[in-house]
Each structure stands twice: as C-alpha cells, then as structure tokens.
Amino acid sequence: MAANMYRVGDYVYFENSSSNPYLIRRIEELNKIMVNPMTANGNVEAKVVCLFRRRDISGNLNTLADSNARDFEEESKQPAVSEQQKHQLKHRELFLSRQFESLPATHIRGKCNVTLLNETDVLAGYLEKEDCFFYSLVFDPVQKTLLADQGEIRVGSKYQAEIPDKLAEGEADSRVQEKLETKVWDPDNQLKDPQIDQFLVVARAVGTFARALDCSSSIRQPSLHMSAAAASRDITLFHAMDTLQKNGYDLAKAMSTLVPQGGPVLCRDEMEEWSASEAMLFEEALEKYGKDFNDIRQDFLPWKSLASVVQFYYMWKTTDRYIQQKRLKAAEADSKLKQVYIPTYTKPNPNQIMAPGSKPGMNGAAGFQKGLSCESCHTAQSAQWYAWGPPNMQCRLCASCWIYWKKYGGLKTPTQLEGAARSGSESTPRGHMTRQEVQGLSPFTRSEGRAKLLAKNRQTFILQTTKLTRIARRVCTDILQPRRAARRPYASINANAVKAECMIRLPKATKAPIKNRSIPRPSLATIVKDLAVQAPLKLKAPRGAPTPINRNQANQPRGGSGLLGKRPFDSAAGLPFSTNGRPFTSGMRTTSQSVIKRQKVNQGDAPNPVVFVATKDTRALRKHLTQSEMRRAARKPHLPVRIKLPPRPLATPILPSSTSEPIVLED
C-alpha cells in the first residue's frame, strides 16, 4: 500500500511508450481535473520536473559529460571500476532541468531515488542499489547546454577551516589586527547607554527631516508617519553608530557630521531604492526560480547587483507583503492533493512475444527464429521474452534485461549495436542509430570483433499494393494527382478519402473499361544484343605524350587510364583541347591543377548487396554530355542516351572487344 502511494517531491517512473525506457520525473504538484462537475470523479494530473538521460542529449554534450565525469573521478579519487561498470554507471547518470510538464498520474510505474552527486560518494555504490540515480549537471533543453548545478554541498577536507595553533600562556599575538578585521563599535566607550539612545533618536529625526526635503521620498512616503517609519529602519541606526565610532564617541562632532553644511544626510536601504515595478518583478522571479538569485538577476533584474538582490530579499521577508503571500500559498497548498494512490500496472506489454507457460512459437513468437538469445546477457532461457529494436532485426530481451532496459535506458553489457564501437558514446538501440552507424555495422565491412548478431541473414520484405489501391490510382486520378504527389513526397495523402471516392465511382467506371497501355517486352536475346551494342567505348590513346601535370602523373599509363586523375590534352593549331574537344579558356588552369583522386564506392556503405560501379570508360563518356543533357537523362532514366563525340581524323569505326559489329559514332 505504501509503495503505491505517491507524494509531492517523489522521484517516479513515467511510461510514455511501451517500447521506450521510462521517463524519470519529480512530482511538484498533484492536481485533480474534474471530468464531470456534477460528480466527484476526476483524473489526477501531476506537474513534474523533467530529468534527462544520456540518450536524450546530443553527442557533443555527452562528450562534455564524459569530461566532467573524468574530472570528478580524479578529484574524488574514485576506486577503479571495470568497463562494464563504467557502461552501467552512464545509465545511472541523469541531468536535471528547469522544464516542467503535466502528465497523467495513471502513467506512474514506480518510485526511484535521485541524489546530487557529492565528492564523498562512491560511484560503484549506485550500482549496488536498485532504482538509484545521481546527477551533477543541469541540462537546458532550449539552449542545449550543460552547466554545473549551483546547489553543491561542500563537504570535504578542502572546505574545512584551518584553525591556527593556540597561543601559549604569556605569548603575545604578533598578527596585525587592523589587517585581519575592522572595528566598527567599541563597547568600552565613554558614553552611557541613555546618551547613545538620545543620539539615535536625533539620528531618526534628522532622517525624517531629510526625507521631507527630498522630492522623490516625499512622493513615495507622502505622509509623516511613513517617512518616520522609513527613517527608523536599520540603515539609519547603522549610520548613526558608525558616525559615533568615526568621531571617537564625541557627541558634538557626531551631531555636526549628521547635519553637514549642505543639509541633513539621507540614508536609504534597498526597500526604498527599489520601485514598485521592480518589487513586482522580483516577486514574479522568486515564484519562478525560487531563491536562485543569479537567475533572478540575469533574467529579470539585470540592472541590479547580486548584493542588492540578496539584501532586498531579506528585507522583503520582513514586510506584510511576504506574510500575505505566505498565507495564500499555505491556503492553496491545503486545497491541493498531498498524495495519490496508483495501483500496480498489470496490463500485458505489447512487446511481449511469449507468455509464461506457453509453448514456443505462441503469442506472437511465430515470426521469431529459433535459437535466438538475449541481446544483453546472451541467455537462451527465460520465462518471458520481449521484442526489442526494429521488427525486421528480430532482437529480443529476457525478462530481467527488459526491466533493466525500461528503468535505466540501456543494456547491461556494451554491444556494437548499442554503439560500443564508438569510443565514449552512449548505448542506443538500433532503432535510434544514424544511417552512418547502420552502414558501419554492415556485414560486408571487414571489421574484426563485430557482434555475433551481425551474422544473421537479412530478411527481404516487399511492399505490394492491393488490387483496390491500384484501381483507385486509375479511377481517382484527379484527386490523387500522382505527378504532383511524386514531386512532393513529403506531403501526406489521405488514402481513406481516395478509397471512399473510389468505391463511389467504381460502379460507374466498370461500364467504361479502363484503357491499359500494354508495354511490349522484348525477348532475352534482344536485350543481351542491345546491351552488347550499347557497351561503353574505349577511347584511343593520343599519339603524343600527355603534358605532365605533376611528378605523379608522369609515371601513369597513357590513354584512358588518365581519366582517374586529370584528362590528357591534345593541341590543334596551338590551342589546347581537352578530350571532349572543348578548348580551354585563358582563365582556366591546366598544368598547375592538382590531381583529383576518385574514391571507389565501398561495398559496406551500400544499403543492398548489389553495387553498381561505373567504369573508367563510362565516366569518360559522361564528360561529353552537357548539363542539360545530364538533367534530361536523370529525369528519364528509361530512355537511351545518345552521345555525340568530337570529329576524329580517321573515319574508320572503332570496334569494341566484346563484339564484331561496328558501332557508328555520330559526328
């Protein structure tokens, strides 16, 4: 019963998704939302403070958090831990924030304990306790920054005061007292207490008279009793006692100091210096930030000093305004809920793939291969299994590892799928990996030590449309607008509206048969013959030696092999020409250009096992196409491309090595 009772200030788990880890929040308020005003029934909503995990922040901030963790370990001299313990400690680290949100109380799944990390704590001790987390940095979701928490508890040897040795009997103190402290009052003075009290009364009277002469004070305190009350504050008494100390407790000299030649001295404290609008801003900031005076000054009162803000706060606590607000908050707190009872959540999880006691292959497990083990602990036996990650990868977790994943947001052991191959990165499921990371885990890459899971065969899936969908494309062309939809693939299509309109038009459309354009398909022999005819050509090597661009190219073979770097040049009538027959302009560089190394496509980077690699001759022929022809070919890839080569001195057709038929080039 007590475990299911949640109060304000508790750290709890919230579930927002059946497959994602729990959210960790701190309850600030419990509000009852009335569904029906006629009845007493209603839902309970919790106003909570958000705490973030490492998986919720960017990689740059994770690097910053790692640097902060290393500094903490060096300063606190933490005992050595294993790599697996370091991996699990990242799951126990949270980042506090000032972001609030409201969540239904029915989504609470349990309690946890979150504490501020102190240098006296042992990090390995957090792994020995269940549902125990720590934080040391504050995350700003808007600015995307990590800052040290200012609520640090300073415990340790370096924060202790150094007590000097006690002086022996008869030993004189050799320290200079004036440098150590400043005397502001001497109790052994020649004045008696009644004389001091009379001088303080005179000082208050002078302060009241000074406020009557001051125009701004007369506006703020229009009545005499308000001016007298302001003159009776501590600032006036402190000034009077300081005047006695500076004048050697001579009343005559002190009187003349209170009223100099220019007029009476006016002493004001922060309560008088601040305007009414500034006081309202301070109350608003105090309601938002609490006693965080740095944020109050930075966001609400940047023209005030930090000392001024702190002094105003303690003076403001002595006013009636503070007492009234305190009473209102107490009455408001009495009307709110103090605690709420949430029963244990017993509904089955949608990711459950085999119920306890059922045979293998039952309850959604038919699609899973036999012999699969847990992705975290690699066990093959468990009373309950849960699907984890993308469905096509068929990953699963055992019961204990699933609970660990939901509570701590990671797996118990670091795996390559979680990003263990990336140094200093946090574990992320395969569904949250980037495209580069997925390509890096391709089974075609020759990296050693990859996870055993990568040896699994990929399952091919086909997206096949139904007959009704294909008919709707033809019948409702005006609504679907396929050309417009193809140009805007990011725009959603209301498929339900298209199908509903299709069902209305379909009886009428059956009377007039739809004209289908039959596409003649050539035979296999014709396709092979066309491919042989359209094979890429090999260009003849120029007779003259190519102009060497640098020392590396001078040793390269002649002819088509130069296409990997810089194309050779031919000269006609003293004008340099490139291989495509276009003359170089005077502004173009020739011999001073550096060699461009073309990188071959890595098969591991390809999403599919089939990779199409362009040959040298194909890349050479692309040079003869203009930009408009390239764009036209890209828009219509099904049409053949006709290439016009520059005129050659010999009219003899060039024969490719793969066929005996001549290929006629268009001039």
CB atoms within 10 A of CB 372: 15
Q: Which residue has the higher pLDDT, 445 or 73?
A: 73
Phi then psi for residue 478, to 5 deg, are: -65, -30
- Enumerate the H helices of 345-433 as residue ranges: 399-408
DSSP 372: -
* pLDDT over threshold 60, residue 585: no
**Residue 428: pLDDT band by 50, 70, 90 thresholds?**
very low
**Residue 355: pLDDT band by 50, 70, 90 thresholds?**
low
* pLDDT over threshold 50, residue 383: yes
Tell me how far apart the alpha carbons of residues 30 and 105 are, in angstroms, rounded to a whole number: 8
Q: Which residue has the higher pLDDT, 80 or 662?
A: 80
pLDDT given at position 88: 92
Q: What is the pTM of this model?
A: 0.48
| Cβ contacts of 641 within 8 Å, gap of 6 or more | 625, 629, 633
What average pLDDT does the segment 216-237 reach?
A: 74
pLDDT given at position 459: 57
CB atoms within 10 A of CB 176: 7
| Cβ contacts of 208 within 8 Å, gap of 6 or more | 224, 227, 228, 231
Of 220, 259, 258, 252, give the one whose Cα is nearest residue 237: 258
pLDDT given at position 640: 84
* pLDDT over threshold 50, residue 481: yes
3-state secondary structure of 30: strand
Token output for 420 = 């263990």
Tell me how far apart the alpha carbons of residues 140 and 47 are, in angstroms, rounded to a whole number: 18
Q: How far is CA 494 from the centre of its chain?
A: 33
**Residue 328: pLDDT band by 50, 70, 90 thresholds?**
confident
Q: Which residue has the higher pLDDT, 259 or 583?
A: 259
* pLDDT over threshold 80, residue 219: no
* pLDDT over threshold 60, residue 442: no
Helices (H), strands (E): how many in the chain?
A: 24, 14
Q: Which residue has the higher pLDDT, 227 or 219?
A: 227
**Residue 556: pLDDT band by 50, 70, 90 thresholds?**
very low
% the chain with pLDDT above 70? 69
**Residue 12: pLDDT band by 50, 70, 90 thresholds?**
very high
Q: What is the Cα gyration radius of the chain?
A: 41
Which of 172-181, 343-352, 489-498, 571-580 is the least confident region? Answer: 571-580
Bridge partners (DSSP) listed for residue 424: none
Which of 121-135, 364-378, 422-436, 473-487 is the least confident region? Answer: 422-436
DSSP 431: G
Quick one: the chain helix, strand, coil %, rounded to 5?
Answer: 40, 15, 50
| Cβ contacts of 323 within 8 Å, gap of 6 or more | none
- Look-up of token digits 């308020």: 29
* pLDDT tens track for 306-319: 999 998 999 888 88
Whether residue 402 contacts residue 396, with contact meaning beta carbons closer than 8 Å, is answered with: no
pLDDT given at position 181: 84
| 570-572 vs 575-577, strand pairing mode | antiparallel
Of 358, 367, 421, 420, give the one whose Cα is nearest residue 392: 367
**Residue 580: pLDDT band by 50, 70, 90 thresholds?**
very low
Which of 9-18, 41-50, 461-470, 594-603 is the least confident region? Answer: 594-603
Q: Which residue has the higher pLDDT, 550 or 24?
A: 24
pLDDT given at position 389: 83
- Please work out, in degrees rounded to the nearest 5, the angle formed at the alpha carbon of residue 111 by the alpha carbons of 106 and 116: 130
* pLDDT tens track for 389-401: 887 777 889 999 9
pLDDT given at position 418: 54
Q: How far is CA 655 from the centre of its chain?
A: 61
pLDDT given at position 132: 94
3-state secondary structure of 460: coil
DSSP 141: T
**Residue 180: pLDDT band by 50, 70, 90 thresholds?**
confident
Q: Which residue has the higher pLDDT, 331 or 403?
A: 403
**Number of C-alpha atoms within 13 angstroms, CB side, residue 637?**
1
Tell me how far apart the alpha carbons of residues 103 and 30 are, in angstroms, rounded to a whole number: 10
Q: Give the CA distances from residue 550 to residues 38, 202, 430, 596, in Å, rounded to whole numbers and listed in that order.
A: 90, 97, 47, 12
**Residue 513: pLDDT band by 50, 70, 90 thresholds?**
low
